[in-house]
């Protein structure tokens, strides 16, 4: 099979991180990401792309309608808290059970799906236009102020479901791995249907697991829970065709969106990205960071807060006006430029830069 990749110029990078699991990639494409999006995994890097012309435009329209009043936002936040509480109860039960059943697993996956579907509307792709329109609209302003006040707390609980080492998804997979005497981290390289297949005595051939470790692609081309999936050589062919981001060589200026305006700031770059497979190295980098350095990251998250608190400015590859980095920069009162697409790939530790939020430009000095 020769997989056909879309034109990379039609897509925008919307999220990127390191150390995320293959299992999380599938969960993301099933219930979090809309049609016209894809996840590419290779060499420990997890990259998410969405069609800039269609998908992001549709998300923008949905956000304008959804965030026009505070009522649906309060409802989503309340529902998420209920779902998080339900997940906590399921996880507490799992930890005391000697074995879990297929029905137990289906219940857990169902809760994760509901959490993903509800949480997705808090993504920055839904809020940028509303944020810009809210200045002269009291109802939209109230809705977005609620999001800004509560999003990071919601994100912390969300992280405990899908991201953190002791979170729900890793706990489920560890339990399954022990119960079925699986080797190493093999369970994290299974699709959901394959995990459920273990209860019928079905196992994934080692050849497929090895292929997935090399590269994988989830491509959601239509609404619903279906997607195209490529692994190993096919995934590498897709990735090569797609190309992804083109990073200009020797770029001296990088442009993005001003998430929090402020005076022109100069400082030394510190590139620090979340790595959920090696948080110890991330913590070491944050400890070495100096007060007044410029934090550059693909995207910020709660685990990078120590770096954010030291930073004189925050620069990210992805994110919007209500992304984590944007909200934190306003709370800390420091300049921020987001959605540069390439900052963490162009800039290196020790580079001296000037952050000009008036024009949304980061300049190498």
Please give the domain boundaries of the chain with CATH numbers for all domains.
8-242 (no CATH), 253-364 (3.50.30.10)
Cβ–Cβ < 8 Å for 272, 300: no
| pLDDT, one tens digit for every residue, the chain (365 residues) | 678 899 999 999 999 999 888 999 999 999 999 999 999 999 889 999 999 889 988 998 998 888 888 999 999 999 999 999 999 999 999 888 889 999 999 999 999 999 999 999 888 788 888 888 888 888 888 988 898 888 889 988 998 998 888 889 999 999 999 999 999 999 999 999 999 999 999 999 999 999 999 999 999 999 999 999 999 999 999 999 998 877 877 788 999 999 999 999 999 999 999 998 899 999 999 999 999 999 999 999 889 999 999 999 999 999 999 899 999 999 999 999 999 999 999 999 999 999 999 999 999 99
Query: CA 344, CA 342: separation in Å to the nearest integer?
Result: 6
Helical axes 22-31 vs 102-119, angle rounded to 10°: 60
Query: CA 275, CA 359: separation in Å to the nearest integer?
Result: 31
Secondary structure string (H, E, C) spanning 72-124: HHHHHHHHHHHHHHHHHHHHHHHHHCCCCCHHHHHHHHHHHHHHHHHHHHHCH
CA 266, distance to chain mean position in Å, is 28
Query: CA 360, CA 355: separation in Å to the nearest integer?
Result: 8
Query: CA 81, CA 72: separation in Å to the nearest integer?
Result: 14
């Amino acid at each position: 099979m020769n997989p056909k990749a879309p034109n990379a110029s039609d897509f925008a990078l919307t999220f990127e991180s390191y150390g995320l699991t293959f299992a999380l990639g599938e969960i993301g494409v099933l219930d979090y990401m809309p049609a016209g999006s894809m996840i590419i995994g290779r060499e420990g890097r997890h990259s998410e792309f969405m069609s800039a012309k269609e998908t992001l435009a549709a998300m923008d329209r949905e956000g304008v309608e959804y965030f026009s009043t505070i009522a649906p936002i309060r409802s989503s936040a309340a529902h998420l808290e209920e779902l998080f509480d339900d997940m906590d109860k399921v996880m507490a039960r799992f930890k005391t059970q000697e074995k879990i059943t297929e029905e137990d697993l289906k219940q857990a996956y169902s809760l994760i799906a509901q959490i993903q579907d509800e949480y997705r509307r808090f993504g920055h792709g839904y809020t940028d236009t509303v944020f810009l329109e809210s200045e002269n609209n009291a109802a939209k302003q109230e809705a977005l102020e609620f999001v800004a006040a509560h999003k990071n707390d919601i994100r912390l609980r969300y992280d405990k479901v899908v991201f953190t080492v002791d979170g729900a998804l890793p706990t489920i997979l560890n339990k399954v791995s022990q119960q079925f005497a699986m080797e190493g981290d093999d369970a994290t390289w299974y699709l959901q249907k394959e995990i459920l297949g273990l209860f019928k005595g079905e196992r994934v051939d080692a050849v497929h697991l090895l292929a997935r470790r090399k590269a994988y692609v989830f491509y959601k081309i239509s609404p619903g829970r279906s997607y195209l999936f490529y692994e190993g050589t096919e995934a590498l062919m897709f990735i090569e065709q797609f190309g992804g981001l083109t990073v200009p060589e020797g770029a001296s200026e990088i442009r993005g969106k001003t998430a929090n305006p402020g005076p022109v700031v100069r400082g030394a770059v510190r590139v620090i990205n979340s790595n959920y497979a090696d948080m110890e190295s991330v913590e070491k980098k944050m400890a070495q960071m100096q007060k007044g350095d410029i934090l550059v990251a693909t995207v910020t998250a709660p685990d990078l807060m120590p770096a954010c608190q030291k930073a004189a400015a925050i620069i990210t590859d992805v994110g919007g006006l209500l992304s984590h980095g944007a909200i934190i920069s306003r709370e800390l009162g420091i300049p921020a430029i987001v959605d540069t697409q390439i900052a963490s790939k162009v800039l290196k530790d020790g580079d001296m830069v000037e952050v000009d939020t008036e024009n949304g430009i980061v300049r190498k000095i």
